[in-house]
Amino acid sequence: MPPSIQKCIVSAGYQWCNLLSKCIRIWETPCEYPVNCLTWFDGCNDCMLVESPDGLALGGCTMMMCFQQGDPQCAVWSPGTISTMPVIDYPAPPVINPFIGGH
């Protein structure tokens, strides 16, 4: 049993969610895989999601050794899905054309 389970404040409606690795209120945050997620990052490995009678389930995962646990999240969304992940807008590098001027 992870030590975080003991920190959930049950009297405030929190319960431990293994999937998200944190305490949640199930009426605010469901403890299930997002519907349009194709690949789930469990904090260490990438896992393929497949349909099952109970909804989405893990179909297979990479088996990498994890030195630092990350935050579980959807890594790959199905086409056309709008993700809630932040988009980082990096400026494009300058284009260098060797056929123009002084080279």
Residues 54 and 74 in one domain: yes
Closest to 73 in 3D by CA, of 84, 57, 81: 84
Co-location of 23 and 51 in the same domain: no
Which range marks the domain in which residue 4 is found? 1-31
Does this model's pTM top 0.75? My answer is no
Pairing of strands 22-24, 73-77: unpaired
Q: How many CB atoms lie within 10 A of CB 59?
A: 13
Q: What are phi and psi of 7, to 5 degrees?
A: -90, -5
Please tell me the total count of domains within the chain: 2
In a domain, 94, yes or no: no
Q: Are residues 24 and 39 in the same domain?
A: no
pLDDT digits (tens, 9 = 90+) for 34-92: 888 899 998 899 999 988 888 888 888 899 888 888 888 888 888 877 665 555 455 66
Token pair in block for residue 84: 């809630």
Averaged over 16-24, what is the pLDDT?
A: 87
CA distance 101 to 15: 66
Residue 20 lies in a domain: yes
The torsion angle over the Cα atoms of residues 69, 73, 38 and 64, rounded to 10 degrees, is -10
